[in-house]
Structure 1
């Protein structure tokens, strides 16, 4: 054994040498990662972010555009900061903030870029650009932020924000990286894929001081960014601005729809906020402030708030009863106020006058005829059959379900089914007399302002609607893609709309005359929505003109009382503004009446 040691020792050295040679060959020739790591010492990979698509109104007026900014990115492995206090002064941050930001970047990746300081303006970046090159590991990246020249439609447009860790984990396409921005709500979220574009990348040679020396390999590995597509919205910017003006100091919503297309002309949630507040470096602090506001400006009332529809729903009862054949336009009902309270001077109304005077006993009787048609001798069973039929009509009319508007967070409201009452009263423990408050749009029934505006569109169209939407088309560099939406029929014969529509026209000439506009026949229905917590809500649903309608509306003003007041006044002003282009001088008093009403004190 001792004799053989002189062979073992050289053999060991030879084997070790061979191992080193193989490893060296692997590092230098077979494995490109180390080559790239070496090149990264002199090559700066710069992400080129695309311009996010713009958003226009229906008349090609700009609603959203982009403003250039600079993000400062950090690669923790490369960070060399001699004088930390001097570096922090560039960004007006504390040493603790600096350490937290670098620690967060290390947690994400030690060798990849991540966001250190966001959205410096051109002026701010120019003031630190020459000084920044003294600190290794920090790189400026050109970006853009959203800008809103008219500061309207905040809840419809939505906002963008930095992609969250959870969103990154859910991103199966692997498109997003830390520090990217993504649509969070509204159109920005719904049309994220169309708006975001495609990022590019450039490889730039830099010296030891971080100064650019040109493209790497003549730009052979560079890829250009692709701008996002533009959206052509259905919004009429002038109408939107005027509608928001009229809702100043009020809580509520406005939804305006073009009946023939389902295009949303205006979408107002009040109180709202300036969308520029959620664009830029102060996004986080502004969001926190808005989110904590007791008036909930981030809450998108037109599609998320639910109200009892009130007397507006008497039109629905009329159409269902006519279709079911349980009444005719000539059917008369005595206004027996001992059964249910009523208002107005009428005694024995037919359907036309019952709508015109909003007769509660008439619709109590009408609803009973819908619910109890004698299809079963047991009243509770008969009521269950009738309610199921009623529910089916409401679904076709767009209630108790999401209409599918093209922005997120739409609520479906509530249309109580037999199972709903079974849970509370037990099967067989309820009948018509348990649920009769539904007859006048009260009780458990809940609707959204969007659904009520859609009902106005159904009435305008005499029996059908097109799914409401805020985007008409997508403008690409090569073509314009018009978005098409299917027509939905309600199953109610067009002839049944005549009596209802004629009565609606007389309402505007009578109890809601504040909405009347010369030379335009407006059809409307008031709604005074019960609110047990405070004052009643003022609601008004309308469309105009009576023939060949151009606009359908729902207006809700919380705590404002009777629907023939401020809600009707706002509706008339908006119809006149949209159809005539301006409000006539002889109706300036109506605008003054609306603007002197402030209901925040009633909350």
Structure 2
């Protein structure tokens, strides 16, 4: 009886184990990844990325076929490495290094061995691939650019790295992912979904057929096309005007916040980052620490805004009730304050300037008085600065604005706390921060922020979040984000006199030499001080040229900001570029050929070499600052002394500088 019970127990236990194993292997695969089975091979089918179009439907980015040599290290058999390397045009050292990298990633999963073969290389290799077990060719698509412009906002695609693989299980080693610009921002939309086929092998590593009749196989899903807000004709023209110059241009449509142009100079041809030379070209671009072609100056570069910031101080002064249109201040070639501080100006000595003339003549004395009245309206400077800061931030300054591109900087808006750290709690006054009156203090802005400020003035008090996406194929955009009207703290009625002053900048002010026939433009010139460090010494270089504008005045279609590094003063380079781009956008062609020729032939490369000499450089020599023939007389500007905060020190520094335009 005991023997029977023992035999029965053993039999039942064996049947239970056999049944369970059979169920797990033959029936239940609910939580099983086919790739966990060493007899299963995955073959991926990659879809083409979505195309990219500009606002008028012009194709910017398409696709071209490419072929990657893949390897599954475990499946590789002994081969003639010399012949194989010659076919791939790599060295034996390259072969060993690539194989080791692939094996480290996974002995049984495919890795890219040699990426992006050309059609000719593929044809030469394809007929001999049968000789090299463990290697196969995977077809992919690479980007094919229909434009030489826009590399900064288009971005590029490259192989995933270890961080990508760790953060996103969708990707396998050797696959491609969007980097920078819209390629990165809209990666999931553009890439589509890869398909996969699972292949069953026997114990001799021979293909049997589809795993489980293909029930786990999936088809690829084509990437979606996207349409950008960019006007590619305007973009290409802006990049052409910025040749041999450095800086940024941002153009917006005020009524929608759509980005019409986003120029960063110097730039590069996006096709340089396609193909087998991509890595070499990227390395060369990345290590160019002087021109910085990969640095998106339109979104990242932070500059003092210079005199365009005066328009904002004018609006704050009107809102706070400390001035009106008729309020006048006398200018004596500048504004003297404190014991030894003088803010120089190019107005005639003794001139009495109201708001309109203060704007179109860019009078420093006028705006120094306005700024002091704003701050001194309140019981102490701290409270006045806090209120001033609230107004400034309502224009989107000091923030990333929320646009749909991955790069950016927030700029800087000074706060009372900043000055408390420098001077002590409530131990400072309006005069300690007076450079903020003319955009030369602790304020920093990016070109897109200044373009947005200009769009706000064009809209008389509100803006829509700047954005570059206009449409996604068969999809809806979160348009609610871009349809929200952001109101400023300034009442609409205060914008009209400021707009009139900006219009007079062209009619009789600092930009009267560069009027565009047939277009009424509202603009503001600016000059921003420019410092660098050479051998730990703070050196002043040639000022940056700045210009903001919108047009037409009565129905704005375009608002923009132009920064030209080391460009002397606002109307010399930035003003002309802004005028030409406005004419190009509104008329479709440029009739101001004389001005266009001057800009296209002009170069600032010599200016950019000066800091490299290691010698302090000053631009007070008027002989170096000449108008082109026929564009008006050169008028030397006096120097000023302005107290500002040097971020490298703990106390304010007094320095002599040129007058801000």
Shift of 1:483: 3.0
- Say yes or no: does 1:465 pair with 2:469: no
CA distance in 1 between counterparts of 2:299 and 2:363 reads: 29
SS at match of 2:67: strand
User: Which residue is equivalent to 1:3?
Assistant: none
Q: Distance in 2 between matches of 1:553 and 1:257?
A: 6
Identify the match of residue 367 of structure 2 among 363, 367, 370: 363
Q: Alignment partner for residue 131 of structure 2, among 134, 139, 144? A: 134
Match of 1:600 in 2: 605
Q: CA 1:210–1:93 in structure 2 vs 1: closer, same or farther (change >3 Å)?
A: farther
- Of 332, 343, 346, which residue of structure 2 is paired with 1:343? 346
CA deviation profile, 1:391-427 (whole Å, cap 9, x unmatched): 1011101111111111112101111111111122221
Q: TM-score, normalised by structure 2?
A: 0.82
Q: 1:204 to 1:317 in 2, by over 3 A?
A: same
Contact 2:35 2:41 in 1 (8 A): no
Q: Does 1:70 align with 2:76?
A: no
Per-residue deviation at 1:491? 2.0
Alpha-carbon spacing, 1:361–1:461, altered in 2? closer, same or farther (3 Å)? same
Distance in 2 separating the partners of 1:128 and 1:416: 63
Q: What SS does the aligned partner of 2:56 have? A: coil
Q: 1:107 and 1:39, CA in 2 relative to 1: closer, same or farther beyond 3 A? A: closer
Show the 5 A alignment for 1:230-241: 230-241=225-236
What is the distance in 2 between the residues matched to 1:359 and 1:528? 13
- Report matched runs for 1:186-585 at 5 Å: 186-203=181-198, 221-293=216-288, 294-336=290-332, 337=334, 339=336, 340-345=343-348, 347-373=351-377, 375-376=378-379, 382-476=380-474, 481=477, 483-484=479-480, 485=482, 486-510=484-508, 511-532=510-531, 533-584=540-591
Corresponding position of 2:646: none
- Conserved? CA contact 1:528–1:563, under 8 Å: yes
Number of residue pairs aligned between Structure 1 and Structure 2: 578
For 1:499 and 1:404, locate their aligned partners in 2 and report how far apart those are by CA, in whole Å: 30
- CA 1:420–1:39: 2 relative to 1, 3 Å: closer
CA contact under 8 A between 2:245 and 2:565: conserved in structure 1? yes
Contact 2:34 2:198 in 1 (8 A): no
Equivalence for 1:153:
150
* 1:428 CA displacement: 2.2
Give how far 1:280 is off: 2.1
Q: In the TM superposition, what is the alpha-carbon distance from 1:81 to its structure 2 partner?
A: 3.4
SS in structure 2 of the partner of residue 304 of structure 1:
coil
Gap change, CA 1:500 and 1:433, over 3 Å in 2: same
Question: What's the Cα RMSD here?
Answer: 2.8
Gap runs ≥5 in structure 2: 337-342, 532-539, 609-661
Cα shift readout 1:139-192 (whole Å, capped 9, x = no counterpart) = 211111112111211011112221111122122xx2122222112211111111
SS at match of 1:146: strand
Question: Per-residue deviation at 1:88?
Answer: 1.0
Q: In the TM superposition, what is the alpha-carbon distance from 1:558 to its structure 2 partner? A: 0.7
When structure 1 is superposed on structure 2, of 435-444 and 261-270 the one drifting more is 435-444
- TM-score (norm. length: structure 1): 0.90
| Deviation sequence 1:291-350 (CA, Å, 0-9, x none) | 111211000101100111111111000000000101001100011335121113370011
Summarize the alignment of residues 79-98 of structure 1 with structure 2, pairs less than 5 Å apart.
79-98=76-95
Structure number having the greater helix percentage: 1
SS at 1:266 equivalent: strand
